[in-house]
Copies of this chain bind each other. A is one copy, B any other.
Amino acid sequence: MSKLRSAPTLDDVAKRAGVSTATVSRCLNDPQRVIAATRERVMSAVDALGYTPNFAARVMAAKRSFTIGAIIPTMENAIFARGLQAFQEEIHLRGYTLLVSSSAYKPEVEEEQIRTLVARGADGLLLIGHDRDDRIYDYLDRQKVPAMVAWSFIPEKRMPSIGFDNRQAMKALAEEVIGLGHKRLATISGITQGNDRARLRIEGIRDAMRSNGLSPDTLMTIETPYEIENGAEAFRQLMASDHPPSAVLCGNDVLAVGAVRQAELMGLRVPGDVSITGFDDIELARIVHPALTTLHVPHREMGRKAAAGLIEMIESNASGQSIQLETSIVTRTSLAAPG
Protein backbone atom coordinates (compact mmCIF):
# COMPACT_ATOMS: atom_id res chain seq x y z
CA MET A 1 0.00 0.00 0.00
CA SER A 2 1.62 3.23 -1.02
CA LYS A 3 0.62 6.26 0.96
CA LEU A 4 -2.45 7.77 -0.58
CA ARG A 5 -1.55 11.18 -1.89
CA SER A 6 -4.12 13.65 -0.78
CA ALA A 7 -4.31 17.40 -0.61
CA PRO A 8 -1.09 18.96 0.69
CA THR A 9 -1.24 20.95 3.91
CA LEU A 10 0.71 23.81 5.36
CA ASP A 11 2.87 21.24 7.07
CA ASP A 12 3.86 19.64 3.80
CA VAL A 13 4.85 22.99 2.40
CA ALA A 14 6.80 23.83 5.52
CA LYS A 15 8.73 20.56 5.42
CA ARG A 16 9.55 20.92 1.77
CA ALA A 17 10.75 24.49 2.23
CA GLY A 18 12.58 23.63 5.41
CA VAL A 19 10.79 26.21 7.54
CA SER A 20 8.12 26.21 10.21
CA THR A 21 4.42 26.35 9.48
CA ALA A 22 4.34 29.80 11.01
CA THR A 23 6.65 31.09 8.35
CA VAL A 24 4.63 29.56 5.57
CA SER A 25 1.51 31.06 7.02
CA ARG A 26 3.17 34.45 7.13
CA CYS A 27 4.37 34.11 3.57
CA LEU A 28 0.81 33.63 2.50
CA ASN A 29 -0.86 36.24 4.63
CA ASP A 30 1.70 38.93 5.17
CA PRO A 31 4.59 38.39 2.79
CA GLN A 32 6.69 41.37 3.78
CA ARG A 33 7.10 39.89 7.23
CA VAL A 34 9.38 37.24 5.82
CA ILE A 35 12.68 37.79 4.11
CA ALA A 36 12.80 37.47 0.33
CA ALA A 37 15.03 34.40 0.15
CA THR A 38 12.81 32.42 2.47
CA ARG A 39 9.72 33.65 0.78
CA GLU A 40 10.93 32.38 -2.56
CA ARG A 41 11.76 29.00 -1.14
CA VAL A 42 8.33 28.77 0.40
CA MET A 43 6.51 29.96 -2.66
CA SER A 44 8.19 27.46 -4.88
CA ALA A 45 7.25 24.72 -2.46
CA VAL A 46 3.68 25.98 -2.63
CA ASP A 47 3.76 25.81 -6.41
CA ALA A 48 5.45 22.47 -6.54
CA LEU A 49 2.86 20.90 -4.28
CA GLY A 50 -0.06 22.77 -5.76
CA TYR A 51 -1.01 23.83 -2.30
CA THR A 52 -4.29 25.60 -1.59
CA PRO A 53 -5.00 26.70 1.95
CA ASN A 54 -7.88 25.00 3.66
CA PHE A 55 -10.47 27.63 4.15
CA ALA A 56 -12.27 26.07 7.08
CA ALA A 57 -9.07 25.74 9.04
CA ARG A 58 -8.15 29.27 8.25
CA VAL A 59 -11.50 30.69 9.32
CA MET A 60 -11.35 28.71 12.47
CA ALA A 61 -7.92 29.85 13.46
CA ALA A 62 -8.24 33.44 12.35
CA LYS A 63 -11.91 33.95 13.22
CA ARG A 64 -12.13 35.97 10.11
CA SER A 65 -13.24 34.77 6.72
CA PHE A 66 -13.09 37.76 4.40
CA THR A 67 -16.44 36.57 3.24
CA ILE A 68 -19.59 38.60 3.05
CA GLY A 69 -22.98 37.02 2.76
CA ALA A 70 -25.95 38.42 0.90
CA ILE A 71 -29.47 37.12 1.14
CA ILE A 72 -31.65 38.37 -1.65
CA PRO A 73 -35.31 37.56 -2.11
CA THR A 74 -34.89 36.05 -5.54
CA MET A 75 -32.40 35.30 -8.24
CA GLU A 76 -35.10 34.37 -10.73
CA ASN A 77 -35.53 37.82 -12.14
CA ALA A 78 -33.21 40.70 -12.62
CA ILE A 79 -34.44 42.99 -9.87
CA PHE A 80 -31.45 42.48 -7.66
CA ALA A 81 -28.92 41.41 -10.26
CA ARG A 82 -27.35 44.73 -11.12
CA GLY A 83 -27.08 46.01 -7.58
CA LEU A 84 -25.66 42.75 -6.38
CA GLN A 85 -23.16 42.70 -9.19
CA ALA A 86 -21.88 46.12 -8.19
CA PHE A 87 -21.82 45.05 -4.57
CA GLN A 88 -19.73 42.04 -5.40
CA GLU A 89 -17.33 44.00 -7.57
CA GLU A 90 -16.73 46.45 -4.79
CA ILE A 91 -16.11 43.90 -2.07
CA HIS A 92 -13.90 41.91 -4.39
CA LEU A 93 -11.78 44.99 -4.88
CA ARG A 94 -11.31 45.13 -1.15
CA GLY A 95 -10.36 41.51 -0.80
CA TYR A 96 -13.67 39.99 0.20
CA THR A 97 -15.65 37.19 -1.36
CA LEU A 98 -19.39 37.17 -1.79
CA LEU A 99 -21.69 34.34 -0.80
CA VAL A 100 -25.20 34.72 -2.14
CA SER A 101 -28.33 32.88 -1.27
CA SER A 102 -31.92 33.55 -2.04
CA SER A 103 -34.87 33.33 0.28
CA ALA A 104 -37.68 33.11 -2.26
CA TYR A 105 -39.31 35.97 -0.33
CA LYS A 106 -39.93 33.62 2.59
CA PRO A 107 -39.03 34.93 6.04
CA GLU A 108 -38.35 31.46 7.49
CA VAL A 109 -36.05 30.63 4.63
CA GLU A 110 -34.31 33.93 5.04
CA GLU A 111 -33.74 33.31 8.71
CA GLU A 112 -32.25 29.92 7.98
CA GLN A 113 -30.00 31.41 5.33
CA ILE A 114 -28.81 34.08 7.69
CA ARG A 115 -27.87 31.48 10.25
CA THR A 116 -26.17 29.39 7.64
CA LEU A 117 -24.13 32.29 6.40
CA VAL A 118 -23.13 33.30 9.90
CA ALA A 119 -22.23 29.72 10.79
CA ARG A 120 -20.08 29.72 7.70
CA GLY A 121 -18.15 32.56 9.19
CA ALA A 122 -19.40 35.48 7.13
CA ASP A 123 -17.78 38.66 8.41
CA GLY A 124 -20.84 40.68 7.49
CA LEU A 125 -24.24 40.43 5.85
CA LEU A 126 -26.16 42.28 3.20
CA LEU A 127 -29.89 42.16 3.79
CA ILE A 128 -32.71 43.44 1.63
CA GLY A 129 -35.26 45.62 3.39
CA HIS A 130 -35.80 46.11 7.09
CA ASP A 131 -38.74 43.84 7.81
CA ARG A 132 -37.74 40.88 9.87
CA ASP A 133 -38.11 39.39 13.27
CA ASP A 134 -36.23 41.07 16.10
CA ARG A 135 -34.94 37.67 17.08
CA ILE A 136 -32.78 37.72 13.98
CA TYR A 137 -31.26 41.06 14.84
CA ASP A 138 -30.61 39.82 18.37
CA TYR A 139 -28.88 36.80 16.96
CA LEU A 140 -26.71 38.95 14.74
CA ASP A 141 -25.81 41.14 17.69
CA ARG A 142 -24.88 38.19 19.79
CA GLN A 143 -22.73 36.71 17.07
CA LYS A 144 -21.29 40.15 16.48
CA VAL A 145 -21.91 40.00 12.78
CA PRO A 146 -22.59 43.42 11.27
CA ALA A 147 -25.34 43.74 8.71
CA MET A 148 -26.30 46.37 6.19
CA VAL A 149 -29.75 46.79 4.73
CA ALA A 150 -30.20 47.83 1.12
CA TRP A 151 -33.07 48.62 -1.25
CA SER A 152 -34.68 50.61 1.49
CA PHE A 153 -33.79 53.70 3.45
CA ILE A 154 -35.25 54.09 6.92
CA PRO A 155 -32.58 55.60 9.12
CA GLU A 156 -34.50 55.15 12.36
CA LYS A 157 -34.52 51.38 12.02
CA ARG A 158 -32.25 49.10 13.97
CA MET A 159 -29.88 48.38 11.10
CA PRO A 160 -28.19 50.99 8.95
CA SER A 161 -29.58 51.12 5.45
CA ILE A 162 -28.50 52.31 2.07
CA GLY A 163 -31.26 52.83 -0.39
CA PHE A 164 -34.04 55.08 -1.37
CA ASP A 165 -37.30 56.19 0.12
CA ASN A 166 -39.70 53.76 -1.49
CA ARG A 167 -42.71 55.72 -0.34
CA GLN A 168 -41.49 59.03 -1.59
CA ALA A 169 -40.37 57.58 -4.88
CA MET A 170 -43.67 55.94 -5.62
CA LYS A 171 -45.50 59.06 -4.53
CA ALA A 172 -43.59 61.06 -7.11
CA LEU A 173 -44.48 58.61 -9.83
CA ALA A 174 -48.11 58.53 -8.78
CA GLU A 175 -48.27 62.31 -8.85
CA GLU A 176 -47.00 62.21 -12.37
CA VAL A 177 -49.78 59.81 -13.24
CA ILE A 178 -52.43 61.84 -11.49
CA GLY A 179 -51.07 65.01 -13.01
CA LEU A 180 -51.82 63.53 -16.40
CA GLY A 181 -55.48 63.39 -15.45
CA HIS A 182 -55.87 59.81 -14.24
CA LYS A 183 -58.49 59.39 -11.57
CA ARG A 184 -59.18 55.68 -11.43
CA LEU A 185 -55.98 54.18 -10.17
CA ALA A 186 -55.03 50.61 -9.43
CA THR A 187 -51.87 48.99 -8.20
CA ILE A 188 -50.45 45.54 -8.61
CA SER A 189 -48.20 45.11 -5.64
CA GLY A 190 -45.80 42.46 -4.48
CA ILE A 191 -46.72 40.57 -1.31
CA THR A 192 -46.51 43.16 1.45
CA GLN A 193 -46.13 40.71 4.31
CA GLY A 194 -42.54 40.95 5.47
CA ASN A 195 -41.73 43.39 2.68
CA ASP A 196 -41.44 47.01 3.71
CA ARG A 197 -40.58 48.12 0.19
CA ALA A 198 -43.83 46.79 -1.25
CA ARG A 199 -45.87 48.24 1.58
CA LEU A 200 -44.30 51.66 1.34
CA ARG A 201 -44.81 51.84 -2.38
CA ILE A 202 -48.53 51.38 -1.93
CA GLU A 203 -48.49 54.03 0.77
CA GLY A 204 -46.73 56.34 -1.64
CA ILE A 205 -49.56 56.03 -4.11
CA ARG A 206 -52.11 56.78 -1.42
CA ASP A 207 -50.10 59.80 -0.35
CA ALA A 208 -50.22 61.16 -3.85
CA MET A 209 -53.93 60.54 -4.12
CA ARG A 210 -54.55 62.25 -0.84
CA SER A 211 -52.60 65.32 -1.72
CA ASN A 212 -54.40 65.55 -5.04
CA GLY A 213 -57.91 65.30 -3.81
CA LEU A 214 -58.47 61.64 -4.65
CA SER A 215 -59.64 59.29 -1.96
CA PRO A 216 -56.99 56.67 -1.26
CA ASP A 217 -59.80 54.22 -0.63
CA THR A 218 -60.55 54.12 -4.31
CA LEU A 219 -57.16 52.63 -5.06
CA MET A 220 -57.75 49.14 -6.36
CA THR A 221 -55.04 46.89 -4.98
CA ILE A 222 -53.94 43.38 -5.80
CA GLU A 223 -51.07 41.69 -4.04
CA THR A 224 -49.26 38.93 -5.82
CA PRO A 225 -45.77 37.43 -5.99
CA TYR A 226 -43.31 39.13 -8.31
CA GLU A 227 -43.71 37.01 -11.43
CA ILE A 228 -44.64 38.02 -14.92
CA GLU A 229 -47.59 35.63 -15.00
CA ASN A 230 -48.93 37.01 -11.76
CA GLY A 231 -48.75 40.51 -13.12
CA ALA A 232 -50.72 39.37 -16.12
CA GLU A 233 -53.38 37.64 -14.08
CA ALA A 234 -53.76 40.57 -11.71
CA PHE A 235 -54.13 42.91 -14.63
CA ARG A 236 -56.81 40.70 -16.12
CA GLN A 237 -58.76 40.81 -12.88
CA LEU A 238 -58.39 44.54 -12.59
CA MET A 239 -59.63 45.18 -16.09
CA ALA A 240 -62.50 42.77 -15.66
CA SER A 241 -64.01 44.85 -12.88
CA ASP A 242 -66.99 47.16 -13.31
CA HIS A 243 -64.92 50.29 -13.22
CA PRO A 244 -61.58 49.34 -14.63
CA PRO A 245 -58.74 51.69 -13.80
CA SER A 246 -57.28 54.08 -16.35
CA ALA A 247 -53.80 53.61 -14.94
CA VAL A 248 -52.18 50.67 -13.24
CA LEU A 249 -49.10 51.37 -11.12
CA CYS A 250 -47.14 48.20 -10.63
CA GLY A 251 -44.95 47.41 -7.66
CA ASN A 252 -42.11 46.53 -9.94
CA ASP A 253 -41.16 46.11 -13.57
CA VAL A 254 -41.72 42.38 -13.60
CA LEU A 255 -45.34 42.77 -12.67
CA ALA A 256 -45.64 45.64 -15.12
CA VAL A 257 -44.32 43.54 -17.95
CA GLY A 258 -46.92 40.93 -17.14
CA ALA A 259 -49.58 43.61 -17.21
CA VAL A 260 -48.42 45.01 -20.53
CA ARG A 261 -48.41 41.63 -22.15
CA GLN A 262 -51.82 40.78 -20.79
CA ALA A 263 -53.13 44.05 -22.15
CA GLU A 264 -51.92 43.06 -25.57
CA LEU A 265 -53.59 39.69 -25.22
CA MET A 266 -56.84 41.38 -24.24
CA GLY A 267 -56.64 43.73 -27.18
CA LEU A 268 -56.18 46.77 -24.99
CA ARG A 269 -53.87 49.49 -26.17
CA VAL A 270 -51.20 50.78 -23.82
CA PRO A 271 -51.25 53.66 -23.07
CA GLY A 272 -54.28 54.40 -25.28
CA ASP A 273 -56.77 52.36 -23.28
CA VAL A 274 -54.85 52.05 -20.07
CA SER A 275 -51.56 53.33 -18.74
CA ILE A 276 -49.13 51.07 -16.94
CA THR A 277 -46.05 51.97 -14.90
CA GLY A 278 -43.25 49.92 -13.42
CA PHE A 279 -40.65 50.32 -10.70
CA ASP A 280 -36.92 49.52 -10.73
CA ASP A 281 -35.98 50.20 -14.34
CA ILE A 282 -34.52 46.82 -15.08
CA GLU A 283 -33.56 45.80 -18.60
CA LEU A 284 -36.95 44.28 -19.26
CA ALA A 285 -38.54 47.69 -18.92
CA ARG A 286 -36.87 48.88 -22.08
CA ILE A 287 -37.49 45.75 -24.03
CA VAL A 288 -41.17 45.27 -23.57
CA HIS A 289 -43.60 46.94 -25.95
CA PRO A 290 -44.54 49.59 -25.16
CA ALA A 291 -41.44 50.38 -23.12
CA LEU A 292 -42.26 51.09 -19.50
CA THR A 293 -42.40 54.42 -17.84
CA THR A 294 -40.88 53.43 -14.56
CA LEU A 295 -38.87 54.52 -11.59
CA HIS A 296 -35.17 54.39 -12.03
CA VAL A 297 -33.26 53.06 -9.07
CA PRO A 298 -29.49 53.67 -8.92
CA HIS A 299 -28.76 50.00 -8.47
CA ARG A 300 -25.05 50.10 -9.08
CA GLU A 301 -24.48 53.04 -6.81
CA MET A 302 -26.53 51.35 -4.14
CA GLY A 303 -24.54 48.15 -4.43
CA ARG A 304 -21.26 49.96 -4.29
CA LYS A 305 -22.14 52.10 -1.33
CA ALA A 306 -23.63 49.23 0.58
CA ALA A 307 -20.37 47.35 0.10
CA ALA A 308 -18.27 50.25 1.27
CA GLY A 309 -20.49 50.84 4.27
CA LEU A 310 -20.55 47.23 5.30
CA ILE A 311 -16.81 46.80 5.04
CA GLU A 312 -16.37 49.93 7.09
CA MET A 313 -18.57 48.36 9.75
CA ILE A 314 -16.59 45.16 9.68
CA GLU A 315 -13.16 46.67 9.76
CA SER A 316 -13.58 49.44 12.21
CA ASN A 317 -16.28 47.88 14.27
CA ALA A 318 -18.39 50.93 13.59
CA SER A 319 -22.14 50.93 13.83
CA GLY A 320 -22.79 51.92 10.25
CA GLN A 321 -24.14 54.95 8.53
CA SER A 322 -27.37 55.14 6.54
CA ILE A 323 -27.32 56.78 3.15
CA GLN A 324 -30.24 57.93 1.09
CA LEU A 325 -30.09 57.66 -2.68
CA GLU A 326 -32.13 59.55 -5.21
CA THR A 327 -34.47 57.90 -7.67
CA SER A 328 -35.84 59.39 -10.83
CA ILE A 329 -38.75 58.86 -13.12
CA VAL A 330 -37.89 57.41 -16.52
CA THR A 331 -40.41 58.46 -19.09
CA ARG A 332 -41.02 55.96 -21.81
CA THR A 333 -44.23 55.15 -23.57
CA SER A 334 -46.47 53.10 -21.32
CA LEU A 335 -47.89 56.14 -19.57
CA ALA A 336 -49.99 58.90 -21.13
CA ALA A 337 -53.02 60.97 -20.35
CA PRO A 338 -56.23 58.94 -20.16
CA GLY A 339 -57.78 58.50 -23.60
Range of interface residues on A (Cβ < 8 Å)? 35 or more
Cα separation A9 to B6 with both chains bound (whole Å): 30
Cβ B120 vs Cβ A55 within 8 A: yes
Judge if A22 is at the interface, Cβ distance under 8 Å. no
What are the residues of chain B within 8 A of A261 when measuring CB–CB?
287
Cα separation A248 to B301 with both chains bound (whole Å): 36
Cβ A99 vs Cβ B97 within 8 A: no
Cβ A139 vs Cβ B50 within 8 A: yes
What are the residues of chain B within 8 A of A19 when measuring CB–CB?
none
The segment out of A73-81, A211-219, A266-274 that lies at the interface is: A73-81
Cβ A5 vs Cβ B85 within 8 A: no
Judge if A328 is at the interface, Cβ distance under 8 Å. no
Cβ B50 vs Cβ A142 within 8 A: yes
Judge if A56 is at the interface, Cβ distance under 8 Å. yes
Given known A97-B116, A99-B99, A287-B257, contact A7–B143 (CB-CB < 8 A) = yes
What are the residues of chain B within 8 A of A120 when measuring CB–CB?
55-56
Cβ B52 vs Cβ A119 within 8 A: yes
Judge if A48 is at the interface, Cβ distance under 8 Å. no
What are the residues of chain B within 8 A of A57 when measuring CB–CB?
56, 60
What is the 8 Å Cβ interface bit string for chain A, positions 98-114, against chain B (1 contact, 0 not)? 11110000000000000
Cα separation A139 to B59 with both chains bound (whole Å): 22
Cβ A56 vs Cβ B59 within 8 A: yes
Cβ B55 vs Cβ A121 within 8 A: yes
Judge if A133 is at the interface, Cβ distance under 8 Å. no
Given A5-B142, A56-B65, A56-B121, 15 other A-B contacts at CB below 8 A?
A6-B143, A7-B143, A52-B143, A54-B60, A54-B119, A55-B116, A55-B121, A56-B56, A75-B84, A76-B82, A77-B78, A97-B101, A228-B283, A284-B287, A289-B289
